[in-house]
Amino acid sequence: MNKIFADFDFTDFWNESEYARENYTEPPPSDELIAEIEEELGGYKLPASYIELMKMQNGGLLNKNCFPAEDTGWSDNHAAITGIMGIGKDKIYSLCGDLGSTFFTTEGGYPDIGFCIGDTPTAGHHMVMLDYRKCGKEGEPEVVYVGQDVDDYSITFLAKGFETFIRGLVDEVVYDNSEYLKEDLNKVENSEFSDLFNKLISKRRELDFEAITRNICKKMTLKKEYFAMHDDELSYLMYDIQFLLYSKANTIISKKDYLNIYPKMIALPDGNATFSTSGYSQFFVEDWLKASLKQKLIKRKFLFFDLKFDPKYEADLMEKLKGYE
């Protein structure tokens, strides 16, 4: 089992201000307090990843305070979060504090889908919530962005789990400086691929994989306003392309085998080759790979090794990619 938040760098993650310490951050929670808070929240079981993070720091303001999302009602490309509510009731912005989750779900009219874990810059008009509708009170909730509409509340999906959400947070400067967008667009349109990725696309003549890759990544960059891969549709398409190209040219012994080679394609710069996302979260790639195996889109060609796409899925993928040439 993978350790929660393994290899995640929390440097500069929290905004260590006096205001945060006074209004958000509680002492590390005990098991008894966790059980008490779960009961006060209506019996919802707190996710293990949330508890793990709160044991590192129990609530606070964030430096990385934006999460990519198509349309939240507040922005057309991201959700903003001010801080994470700690497990407790003493600080005003704790889960059961004066302006915590219980206030917004009982007094504020927010939908009964779970509970709030984060406030936003909109002064209570939008909240980040854990959504238990699919999993039940004991399951692993999704993370959603909930906003007040004229007559109701809109609910926008953000991430399938709390750890995925935390790993996907980025600094707000990503959305504030158009120069970053210009630089990333120039990168995906003109920069050099890594030696490995060049070698992989040179072996495939059925489609123009260079043009396809650049076009998909350009569309992704325009949509997010920066070049990065998460757990959205275009990112999954790029994960598919990389796996397709690599598996056609190499024998993939195991999931670990592929995850070790993955960053050498387009995730990290390679000398003069600068076509890359300049970093990546292995968590997103692992999620894509696990989902593909579970859905049997990727199968073992032989009993114990050689991971390949299912032939029907590969044929459908190739047809889909033609639209990006």
Domain finish residue from 146, 168, 190? 168
Low-confidence ranges of the chain (pLDDT < 50): 1
Question: Does 129 map to a domain?
Answer: yes
14-15 and 78-80 beta bridge pairing: unpaired
Domain with 105, as residue range(s), is 14-168
Residues 247 and 305 in one domain: yes
pTM: 0.57
Residue 229 and residue 263 share a domain? yes
Query: Amino acid letter at 173?
Result: V
Instruction: Based on the fold, state whether residues 206 and 282 are members of the same structural domain.
Output: yes
Looking at the domain assignment, is residue 7 inside a domain? no
CATH number at residue 111: 3.40.1580.10
219 and 318: one domain? yes
pLDDT of residue 1: 40
* Same domain, residue pair 162 and 183: no
19 and 162 in a common domain: yes
Residue 23 in any domain: the answer is: yes
User: What does 131-165 look like in DSSP terms, one character per residue?
Assistant: E-TTT-TTS--EEEEEEE-SSSEEEEEEESSHHHH
User: Percentage helix, strand, coil, to 5, in the chain?
Assistant: 40, 15, 45
List the strands of the sheet with 126-131, edge to edge: 14-15, 60-62, 83-84, 114-119, 126-131, 142-148, 153-159
Q: Is residue 9, in this structure, part of any structural domain at all?
A: no
158 belongs to a structural domain: yes
If asked whether residues 55 and 73 sit together in one domain, one would say: yes
User: Which among 168, 199, 229 is the end of a domain?
Assistant: 168
Task: Assess whether 29 and 64 both reside in one domain.
Answer: yes
In a domain, 121, yes or no: yes
Confidence at residue 213, expressed as pLDDT on a 0 to 100 scale: 96
Residue 5: inside a domain: no
Residue 1 lies in a domain: no
Do residue 82 and residue 47 come from a single domain?
yes
- Listed residues 145, 168, 191: the one ending a domain: 168
Regarding whether 100 and 66 lie in a shared domain, the answer is yes
Single-letter code of the amino acid located at 166: I
Instruction: Quickly list DSSP for 226-248.
Output: S----SSHHHHHHHHHHHHHHHH
The backbone torsions φ and ψ at residue 152, rounded to the nearest 5 degrees and listed phi first, read -160, -165
Same domain, yes or no: 146 and 20: yes
How is 252-309 classified by DSSP, letter by letter?
---HHHHHHHGGGTTTS-BTTB--S-SS--HHHHHHHHHHHHHTTSEEESSSSS-EEE
Residue 162 shares a structural domain with residue 226 = no
Q: What is the domain count for the chain? A: 2
Dihedral sign for Cα 291, 294, 298, 301, please: positive
Whether residue 209 contacts residue 275, with contact meaning beta carbons closer than 8 Å, is answered with no
- The CA angle 78-95-42, to the nearest 5 degrees, is 105
